[in-house]
């Protein structure tokens, strides 16, 4: 799989390419990441990527031309028409998008190519979302200064699902089990502990030390459910607004 990141801050992604799961997968040739500096696709002397909003108001808006020129270079005019067939998706990261979730990560991990456009300033000319991008995605209900952290997060979530990327293939297996086995409700994981069994008065639950595997399984299910009820009741199957 190939990722293309379009940004005015290409340096933002440097660390990502050097460290972590994404870096290792890339080094192993499991996937390719290309970072594109939007300024390289401007025509003017000042390499302008933003402009004042029509209708007035605060802040600046990202211009469509450099983004179009970059997509044109990456995909070509013909490619943009038959994106669905070619297995390519163009995603705009913006505060106005649908909130990213695991099902999208799973879908996108099946693509040949994922193009991520990181927005900046007060927003992006709406014609990008309307005509150039396939989807407009947000990282969540909080305000970022731009789409770069959101793009990094999408890259990590999708990248780790690619075959052979995860160090331990069993982890990916367990993950899909826990998400689908319990009546479709992808609740929170159970708590984990490791040595020492007692640290400064803080103990590990006795059941985990005793070695009764049936009891451990029951305890883990119960704890996962309790924790989901307490911290993420919205994930429970019977939650309202589902
Ligand atoms: C007047 C309201 N604006 C700012 C307070 C709206 C606004 C414009 C631009 C809010 C954020 C941004 C920049 N953010 C992103 O480009 C962005 C984002 C986000 O803010 N939250 C979650 N996901 C994303 S993806 C891109």
In tens, the pLDDT along 193-232 reads 999 999 999 999 999 999 999 999 999 999 999 999 999 9
CA distances to 55, 106, 192 from 223, rounded to whole Å, are 54, 26, 10
How many residues are present in the chain?
242
Range with lowest mean pLDDT among 2-11, 23-32, 34-43 = 23-32
Q: Which residues contact 230 (CB under 8 A, 6 or more apart)?
A: none
Mean pLDDT of the region 137-159: 97
Domains contained in the chain, CATH given: 2-159 (3.40.1280.10), 178-235 (1.10.1270.20)
Please state the atom number of ligand 1 nearest to the C-alpha of residue 150.
25
Q: What band does 26 get if pLDDT is binned at 50, 70 and 90? A: confident
23 has a pLDDT exceeding 60: yes
Hey, which of 119, 128, 137, 143 would you mutate to test ligand 1's pocket, going by the most ligand atoms within 8 Å of its Cβ? 143
180 has a pLDDT exceeding 60: no
- The reported pLDDT for the residue numbered 182 is 38
Question: Is the beta carbon of 138 within 6 A of some atom in ligand 1?
Answer: yes
Q: What band does 140 get if pLDDT is binned at 50, 70 and 90? A: very high
Question: Is the beta carbon of 152 within 6 A of some atom in ligand 1?
Answer: no
- The reported pLDDT for the residue numbered 82 is 61
């Amino acid at each position: 799989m190939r990722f293309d990141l379009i940004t005015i801050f290409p340096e933002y992604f440097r660390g990502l390419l050097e460290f972590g799961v994404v870096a290792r997968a890339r080094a192993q040739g499991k996937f390719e990441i290309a970072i594109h500096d939007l300024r390289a696709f401007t025509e003017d002397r000042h390499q302008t990527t933003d402009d004042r909003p029509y209708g007035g108001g605060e802040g600046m808006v990202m211009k469509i031309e450099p983004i179009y020129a970059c997509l044109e270079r990456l995909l070509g005019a013909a490619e943009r028409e038959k994106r669905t067939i070619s297995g390519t998706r163009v995603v705009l990261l913006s505060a106005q998008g649908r909130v990213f979730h695991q099902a999208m990560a799973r879908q996108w991990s099946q693509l040949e190519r994922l193009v991520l456009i990181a927005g900046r300033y007060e927003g992006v000319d709406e014609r990008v979302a309307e005509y150039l991008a396939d989807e407009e995605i947000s990282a969540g209900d909080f305000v970022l200064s731009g789409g770069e952290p959101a793009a990094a997060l999408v890259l990590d979530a999708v990248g780790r699902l690619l075959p052979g990327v995860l160090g331990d293939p069993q982890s990916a297996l367990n993950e899909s089990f826990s998400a689908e086995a319990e009546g479709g409700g992808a609740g929170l994981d159970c708590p984990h502990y490791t040595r020492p069994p007692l640290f400064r008065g803080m103990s590990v639950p006795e059941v985990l030390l005793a070695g009764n595997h049936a009891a451990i399984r029951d305890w883990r299910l119960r704890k996962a459910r309790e924790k989901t009820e307490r911290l993420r009741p919205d994930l429970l199957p019977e939650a309202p607004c589902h």
